[in-house]
Structure 1
Amino acid sequence: MIEEFRKTSAERDIPLIHQHMMRTFSLRREEIITSSLPVSELKDRWPALFNETHLYCEFHRITNLHLPHVFYAALDEYAPRLIGLYKKKKTGRVGENMDQLLLEYEQQDKNDICTTRTAALAGLPIYLKEDSSGIFKTCKDEMEFHEAALALVADVGEEDVPAGVPFSPRQVFVVLEDQVVMTHYRWTDALVCLFGLIYALHLSYPVKCSSFFEFIQVVLLKLDDERKQLRPKLQTLKNELV
């Protein structure tokens, strides 16, 4: 597999890589879970995990879910209701931040489904009163990256980013342990890849934004233990959406 990933994308034997990934799944999961290897070493040993197609296959092997399909189906169902809840937030710092987000959202092209998806996801940390500034970042130069154990860094060019939400980034970098491991052209797609990597590499959710990622796990993907008690704010939001 390592030899295949030294080739160009067009030259790689995709069926062979998939076959080897299937055969080595148990070995790989044991190594990742028990060894706590640095991301740089995992990238050298298992490069397919940092390829979008093979990452989704790995997520399916772990959870039996097709990540982007289930994620977007649920998000598209809940997004209008989430934005409706955001509009009711009128007081305090949360209300001010939400107003900025919604004002910018209203100026976007509503025919682009990514606009609503981005607004719904970007508003979640605000609604849940979490600080996402260390996770969701922007830069004005593709060579400018912020140190982060786990982050999405949107390259926004020279333009300002109203409300801090990158509705139209030039590209988005997935950063793990201070290095770019994947790139995408849509913020929501990059977020899906980041979530997939968290599962594939057995990473913990960022403490300051844990409810945001738990919302994706429990509400969007329904990857929860029904016997486990959700934290109150997540349970309240889940009830409001249902």
Structure 2
Amino acid sequence: MSDKNLLLIGKLMQTTFALRRKEVISDESPVDEILERWPALKIESQICAEFHRISNTNLKNSFYADLDQHPPRFLSLFRKKAARTGKIAEVLSEIFRIYDLQEQVDVHVRRAAVLRALPAYLHEDDSGFLKQWDMSQSDEPNIDDEPVGLLLISANSTDATFFCPERIAVVLEGNMVIDLPTFADAFVMLFALIYALHLSYPKALANTFDFTQKVLMGLEDGKLKPRVLSLKNAILAVE
């Protein structure tokens, strides 16, 4: 799509914003109907723009500024919990076993490691939120029952693709809305689409999304759940 077309789409989306918010919030239209009427919400730049219209916040700048500021602190905290006993420690230990096998640990792998470990640290189960599609095993992904989640897509699933599969798709109500090259990009686009489409956070990951909204994005309402507050304090305290 040309820059000229994207500019026109942006102007039209800005002009129709009030109408769209009425449809989304007051009319409570299904997601597939909204995306059919406003297909620009499947374009990364327009998802970012819509989030800015709603929150007056730059989506990626806010998210990555905080996420990239604390990766050693996050990873240190998560590793300490992985060294303990119990189910949460086992999940975190497996994440770090794979992380330590990565041939190349760049910013994308570090971001993915933090975001993959975050739910476990907050005592949440992301198994219903994250799905894998190994294209060498099946022609179609099994996402019909996926209300909100991420689909990790690869031609051959291995430990190497745990953090960095070939693509990651944002899934809403059983449909792939947009796919992106990195886990963190897909996660933050899903977060923005939840805002844009006025959806509820996945119940199983309420703490994870609460932490994303109020700590990483700085969209606080003054109230933090105990585990979220504890992690926020720990991140700020760890040196």
Q: By the TM > 0.5 criterion, same fold?
A: yes
What is the correspondence of 1:212-223 to structure 2 with a 5 Å cutoff? 212-223=208-219
1:109 Cα deviation (Å)? Answer: 4.3
**Which AA in structure 2 matches 1:175?**
V
1:12 Cα deviation (Å)? Answer: 6.2
The corresponding residue for 1:124 is: 118
The corresponding residue for 2:102 is: 108
1:73 Cα deviation (Å)? Answer: 1.1
Q: Which runs of 5+ in 1 are unaligned?
A: 1-8
Contact 1:156 1:168 in 2 (8 A): no
2:92 corresponds to 1:98: yes
**Which AA in structure 2 matches 1:168?**
C
Count of residue pairs the alignment pairs up: 230
Q: Distance in 1 between matches of 2:167 and 2:148?
A: 17
What is the correspondence of 1:170-181 to structure 2 with a 5 Å cutoff? 170-181=166-177
SS for the counterpart of 2:70 is helix
Q: Distance in 1 between matches of 2:50 and 2:3?
A: 22
1:161 Cα deviation (Å)? Answer: 4.1
Percent identity over the alignment is 39
2:197 corresponds to 1:188: no
What is the correspondence of 1:202-221 to structure 2 with a 5 Å cutoff? 202-221=198-217
Contact 1:156 1:166 in 2 (8 A): no
Q: Distance in 2 between matches of 1:235 and 1:176?
A: 29
1:145 Cα deviation (Å)? Answer: 2.8
SS for the counterpart of 1:158 is coil
- What whole-Å deviation, never above 9, does each CA across 1:22-54 have from its counterpart, x for those lacking one? 111111111101111111111111111111001
Contact 1:74 1:220 in 2 (8 A): yes
1:18 Cα deviation (Å)? Answer: 1.2
The corresponding residue for 1:169 is: 165
SS for the counterpart of 1:154 is strand
- What whole-Å deviation, never above 9, does each CA across 1:161-185 have from its counterpart, x for those lacking one? 48xx721211111110111111112
**Which AA in structure 2 matches 1:140?**
D
Contact 1:174 1:194 in 2 (8 A): yes
RMSD: 1.7
4+ long deviations beyond 4 Å: none
Q: Which runs of 5+ in 2 are unaligned?
A: none
Q: Distance in 2 between matches of 1:110 and 1:157?
A: 20
Q: Which moved more, 1:188-197 or 1:141-150?
A: 141-150
Q: Distance in 1 between matches of 2:103 and 2:59?
A: 26
Q: Distance in 1 between matches of 2:68 and 2:219?
A: 18
Q: Which moved more, 1:194-203 or 1:145-154?
A: 145-154
Q: Distance in 2 between matches of 1:122 and 1:11?
A: 34
**Which AA in structure 2 matches 1:143?**
E
SS for the counterpart of 1:77 is coil
Q: Distance in 2 between matches of 1:149 and 1:137?
A: 12
The corresponding residue for 1:5 is: none
TM-score normalised to the size of structure 2? 0.91
TM-score normalised to the size of structure 1? 0.90
